[in-house]
Structure 1
């Protein structure tokens, strides 16, 4: 079983710093509204919780990946 590491810190209301073994990321947004996540690996993700068991997520990867 692989060993994983992940930690999230709230910097300001609506802003989180996420740390894992390979990268850092910042998430902007809170509650039921849309969230934007920017990673040091060049990945950008937009996500949003929708009513019921649904959700929306779109991930864009930077050039050269």
Structure 2
């Protein structure tokens, strides 16, 4: 079983810095309303918790050109 690393730090109320083995990301938003996450790899995610066990998430990826 592979080992994983993930750590999240609260910077300000409603702002979190997330670290993992390959990248970092910043998440803004709280428990109510949408959350927006921007990753160092170019991935942008918007997510919303819905009533009950439901939720909605949209992920956009920015392709890097060399």
TM-score band by shorter chain is over 0.9
Structure 1 residue ranges (4+ consecutive) displaced by more than 4 angstroms after TM superposition? none
Question: What's the TM-score, normalizing by structure 2?
Answer: 0.94
Structure 1 gaps of 5+ residues are none
Counterpart for residue 29 of structure 1: 29
Structure 2 gaps of 5+ residues are none
For each residue in 1:25-56, what CA deviation from the matched residue of structure 2 results, as whole angstroms up to 9, or x when unmatched?
00000012100000000000000100011100
Report the aligned-residue RMSD.
1.2
Question: What's the TM-score, normalizing by structure 1?
Answer: 0.95
Counterpart for residue 7 of structure 1: 7
Count of aligned pairs between the two proteins: 65
